[in-house]
Structure 1
Amino acid sequence: MTCDVAVLGTGKMGEALLGGLLRSGWPASGLRATSRRKEHAAALEARHGVPVVDNQEAASWADVLVLAVKPQDMGALLAEIAPALTPATLLVSVAAGLTTGFFEERLPAGTPVVRAMPNTAVLVDEGMTVLSGGAHASPYHVDRAGAIFRSVGHTLVVPESQQDAATALSGSGPAYFYFLVEAMTDAGVLLGLPRDKAHELVVRSAVGGAVMLRDTAEHPVRLREAVTSPAGTTVSAMRELERHGVRAALMAAIEAARDRSRELSASS
């Protein structure tokens, strides 16, 4: 589903999307980017071979605009590009906490908007992006947006009412994983392993476990039970995790992230 795409805002997320589209075979001639800093714009063109233009030129040229600026800068950007939009232009936002209604109130009536929440794994083409269509976005628009994010991983479509929960679970999800890796690596050091070896053991175990979850389609309880021998080392560890309330703490943490996402949406 190739079309003309402009990425407005080329920080880490915006540039990751641009690079992913190129790696997936999207022609550079069908891409544009914007940047507020001239030196960054020049470096971006040199790295990717994609023209860097101003926001209004990008808005009038593209079929799809991916808005990847900071949430606090979005209002000014929309005021700048609104006069250049056509009724056929699709807007895709990756700004955390901004609802599709935020955009629809500031754009010409009927403008289709899709809200997207990718996570940082887009940087290695293993991202998970959650998509929700606004009031004027058809399934075709959502799929068109999804084609962009499938260039850097996977997508899932949910009602916008579930975006805050998805943000807490997936958008913030890599941070929980890194926290666990950090804690397990520290435990390995405590037990006498060199840090580099402890880190490798933990990362390899995590990658292998994730692949098993993906490829076997087994429930995680079944996979965990397969590792847990009667009166063995794993069941002793599981007992301590339950005694310290790790499961409850993790659920509470994700609920807190959901609540914060709701607060950000309400204040936009």
Structure 2
Amino acid sequence: MTTKLILAGCGNMGFAMLSGWIGSGKLATSECLVVEPNAELRARAAKLGVTVTESAEAIGPDAHPDIVVLAVKPQVIRDVTAAYRRFGDGTTTFVSVAAGTTVATFTEILGSRTPVLRCMPNTPASIGKGMMVTFASPHVSESAKATIGDLLSASGAVASIDDEAQMDAVTAVSGSGPAYIFHFIECLTSAAKTAGLPEDTAKLLAMQTVYGAACLAAESGEDPATLRKQVTSPNGTTAAALDILMGENRLEKLIAEAVEAARKRSIELAK
């Protein structure tokens, strides 16, 4: 079968997406070629049944992929993209998961008529619970958008935006966001231990509380503010804790500062 998709880079994010595509049946192993210079990562991808190669130069001259997914770090995106220049200015749609790298950067390298779709996924994609946000350049066809959206849905929820400038905010919220939640779990675990709970119990309580609260927020149909109020009895224990977190908008301000720092860094990475 003809190669429909080339995956350039099969690190943690690339492998997570690939696993979702293959595992869900949205992409046949014979339709995908993985290009990965790292031997260990290549071997991991090969276990899924896909064809793997070390470099773009090894791709056959008859290859005409529908999609090239660039799943590499922003620091190397220009060099990696240049290796696929022969697929530019045609019908091949390029999908990038590199934070901060603009459509203009890709068209500068690949040609002005190249269809480019930016995607910001996050690490929960590795278990099918990710958040993928996309922005498509004008040259991306509706059929390509639909195909790529279907592939991405194997890794979680998919949303699209019409203003590319918003991708920096997307990166700061959902792209980097899991790290904020992981740190909150760390902090809640530490506080539980300080309050006298054994380490294993502290970890379980912190983890399950965050997980359960997120599931309830997602499935209840209520907005988070309403759910918070439902938990908070007047002058009760939760109210005492929220006086600390919400007093002078402490947590709100801290989260806003964190998101803004990430957004600015995303902009810097594009330069």
Note the C-alpha offset of 1:137. Answer: 1.9
Alpha carbons of structure 1 residues 38 and 225: separation in structure 2 relative to 1, 3 Å? closer
Answer yes or no: is 1:105 the counterpart of 2:108: yes
- Root-mean-square deviation (CA, aligned residues, Å) is 1.8
Answer yes or no: is 1:200 the counterpart of 2:204: yes
Answer yes or no: is 1:264 the counterpart of 2:269: yes
Which digits, 9 at most, give the CA deviation of each residue in 1:24-50, with x for residues without a partner? 1121111110111345424431x1110
Give the conservation status (yes or no) of the 8 Å contact 1:96–1:117. yes
Q: Percent identity?
A: 37
Answer yes or no: is 1:48 the counterpart of 2:48: yes
Query: After the TM superposition, which residues 142-181 of structure 1 pair with which residues of structure 2 at under 5 Å, given as runs?
Result: 142-158=145-161, 159-181=163-185
Amino acid at match of 1:117: M
Answer yes or no: is 1:115 the counterpart of 2:109: no
TM-score by length of 2: 0.91
Which digits, 9 at most, give the CA deviation of each residue in 1:14-33, with x for residues without a partner? 11111111111121111110
Which digits, 9 at most, give the CA deviation of each residue in 1:119-167, with x for residues without a partner? 0111111110110012322443333222221111111101212101111
TM-score by length of 1: 0.92
Give the conservation status (yes or no) of the 8 Å contact 1:132–1:142. no
Count of aligned residue pairs for this structure pair: 263
Note the C-alpha offset of 1:85. Answer: 4.4
Alpha carbons of structure 1 residues 224 and 133: separation in structure 2 relative to 1, 3 Å? same
Query: After the TM superposition, which residues 125-140 of structure 1 pair with which residues of structure 2 at under 5 Å, given as runs?
Result: 125-140=128-143
In the other structure, the counterpart of 1:213 is 217
Answer yes or no: is 1:8 the counterpart of 2:43: no
Amino acid at match of 1:30: E
In the other structure, the counterpart of 2:35 is 34
Amino acid at match of 2:196: G
In the other structure, the counterpart of 1:83 is 86
- The CA distance in 1 between the partners of 2:129 and 2:101, in whole Å, is 24
Answer yes or no: is 1:73 the counterpart of 2:73: no
Stretches of structure 1 that go unaligned for 5 or more consecutive residues are none
Give the conservation status (yes or no) of the 8 Å contact 1:112–1:141. no
Alpha carbons of structure 1 residues 38 and 234: separation in structure 2 relative to 1, 3 Å? closer
Which digits, 9 at most, give the CA deviation of each residue in 1:182-210, with x for residues without a partner? 11111100010011111111111111111
Amino acid at match of 2:193: V
Runs of 4+ with deviation above 6 angstroms: none
Query: After the TM superposition, which residues 180-199 of structure 1 pair with which residues of structure 2 at under 5 Å, given as runs?
Result: 180-199=184-203
In the other structure, the counterpart of 1:249 is 254
